[in-house]
Amino acid sequence: MSTEIDEILAGCLGFFWPLGTASRNPQEEAQPGYIQRKANGSLHIETLEKDLPHASPSIRPRPDAVLGKTPHGGVALLNISGHGATFNPDRARASVSNYRGLTLITGIDADKVRSPKAYSLSAFFPEASEWAGLTSINIDPSPDGQGRSTELNIHVLSTPGGKEKFRGRLIEISTHWETSGPRNRPNIYAPLRITSSSPRALPIVDLLKPLFRIQDLISLAYQGFVLADGGRALLQQGCEGRNPHLWNSTLMHLPDHSREIATLTENPLFWLSDLGGITGIRRWLELCHKHPRAVYPLTEYYRLGQLSPETRLMEVAAAIEYWTGAHARSRKWPKVGNSQAAAVARRAGQPFSKWVGNRHAKWAKEFWEEYIAVKHFKTRTPDPYLCRLLADSGAMLLTAVLLKSITGGSSRIVEKIFSSHRLHHLGSAIRDSI
């Protein structure tokens, strides 16, 4: 993340004005204020008001964006999630307007911005280049005759990883690089870059959504929340000759109770190549768009953190019910077995059966019975440990089956997942329990 945006997020003064109000020259109404990032990841702007209207804050229109000028450059606060004001008619205390948002664009010419729409947004994921199969840094030492390195050549490049169209947007993966620091001690930053763009300007949220879903896919692969740590933006106006930075709370803030993956050097459950590269990303985005009820219980777990074992079991089972129901009329496999869990277990095939000790029917029976007991408040008290094992194993089963659906029905991705070292302890525990 850039030093400029870090300093703004830490809190700084500036002049701010709302965009999308009735004023013809909102810059003339710029008020002194303060911008900062709160502990929950949201962005807040507070401005001092000389002549705040008496109207209730709930009646005042929500602006499309809040623009501003700070000592570190122009800013735009987007995705406005709330606004309000404190009016003090006695003038013994200052009247204040406040705005809350989720997205910040820095390094713009705020005077020229007339629309909150954008042409492109990019998010940077450090260390994720290997997951995508891309290389951006080549290091070539040159040893002398005694094996000592006398020269080191470092070649840094932006490597394209492909493009795919998705519902009016162009999704692109590549590597990105930047350098900083003194010449005798340079720092090289070379993350995976994921870009969502459109030839016509779109609302910011329409460009952000594909980035969220791809972040979910990377988090699934590493079984933890993988944070983006920077990005770029191209707004409809105000970016000419500039290279604005992007900060978004959903992409870049670790929610409470979530587990961040500290490093991506350990092998993931699957690589992007196992899904077919950029084509697999497009298919994943289509899956998320058409079947969010099947996908979100798996991905939101990493965003929102630990749930109680009973809640986790109910969410995973409901997703399995939905996925089988969505295919009940068009496919034969949902009708196999005594429950939806049994049908999905059979759909996963031999890799899952082997993982649960060749007792997939027994696993499905216990999973469904425990789910029904929790759902319908049976008199017996559910075993939290068993609920957790069944929920986690059910989530891995559904993950494998969903990814199988976007890879042409190939069982290779299922084999890849259930042979992963990441599932060794879970598999051993579930085999011992059933």
pLDDT score of 434 = 82
Q: What is the pLDDT of residue 379?
A: 67
Average pLDDT over residues 37-46: 93
For 242-260, the pLDDT digits (tens) are: 889 999 999 999 888 787 7
Of all residues in the chain, the percent with pLDDT exceeding 90 is: 65
Name the band, by pLDDT with cuts 50, 70 and 90, for residue 160: confident
Q: Is the pLDDT of residue 351 over 90?
A: yes
CA dihedral 219, 220, 221, 227 (to 10 degrees): 0
For residue 59, name the pLDDT band (cuts at 50, 70, 90). low
Dist CA 32 CA 177 (whole Å): 36
Q: Is pLDDT of 166 > 60?
A: yes
pLDDT, position 60: 67
pLDDT of residue 54 exceeding 60, the answer is no
pLDDT tens-place string over residues 105-137? 999 999 999 999 999 999 999 989 999 998 878
- SS3 annotation, the chain: CCHHHHHHHHCEEEEEEEECCCCCCHHHHCEEEEEEECCCCCEEEEEEECCCCCCCCCCCCCCCEEEEEECCEEEEEEEEEEEEEECCCCCCCCEEEEEEEEEEEEEECHHHCCCCCEEEEEEEECCCCCCCCCCCEEEEEEECCCCCEEEEEEEECCCEEEEEEECCEEEEEEECCEEECCCCCCEEECCEEEEEEEEEEECHHHHHHHHHHHHHHHHHHHCCECCCCEEEEEECCCCCCCCCEEEEHHHHCCCCCCCECCCCCCCCCCCHHHHCCHHHHHHHHHHHHHCHHHHHHHHHHHHHCCCCHHHHHHHHHHHHHHHHHHHCCCCCHHHCCCCHHHHHHHHHCHHHHHHCCCCHHHHHHHHHHHHHHHHCCCCCCCCHHHHHHHHHHHHHHHHHHHHHHCCCCCCHHHHHHHCCHHHHHHHHHHHHHC
pLDDT value of residue 264: 83
Mean pLDDT for the stretch of residues 370-398: 89
Greatest pairwise CA separation for the chain in angstroms: 84
Confidence of residue 44 (pLDDT cuts 50, 70, 90): very high
Residue 89 has pLDDT above 90, yes or no: no
308-342 tens-digit pLDDT: 999 999 999 999 999 999 998 888 888 887 899 99
Q: Answer yes or no: is pLDDT of 56 > 60.
A: no
Mean pLDDT of 412-416: 96
pLDDT value at 416 more than 80 = yes
**Percentage of the chain exceeding pLDDT 70:** 94
CA dist 4 and 17 (Å) reads 21
More confident residue, 77 or 59: 77
**pLDDT for residue 84:** 87
Q: In the prediction, which pLDDT does 25 show?
A: 61
Is residue 27 predicted with pLDDT exceeding 70? no
**pLDDT tens per residue, range 269-288:** 999 999 999 999 999 999 99
The whole-number pLDDT of residue 51 equals 65
Judged against a pLDDT cut of 80, whether residue 152 lies above it is answered with no
Highest mean pLDDT among 38-52, 84-98, 142-156, 384-398: 384-398
Structure confidence by residue, pLDDT tens digits, 1-12? 567 888 999 999
Mean pLDDT of all residues in the chain?
A: 89
Q: Is the pLDDT of residue 189 over 90?
A: no
pLDDT band, very low/low/confident/very high, at 92 (cuts 50, 70, 90): confident
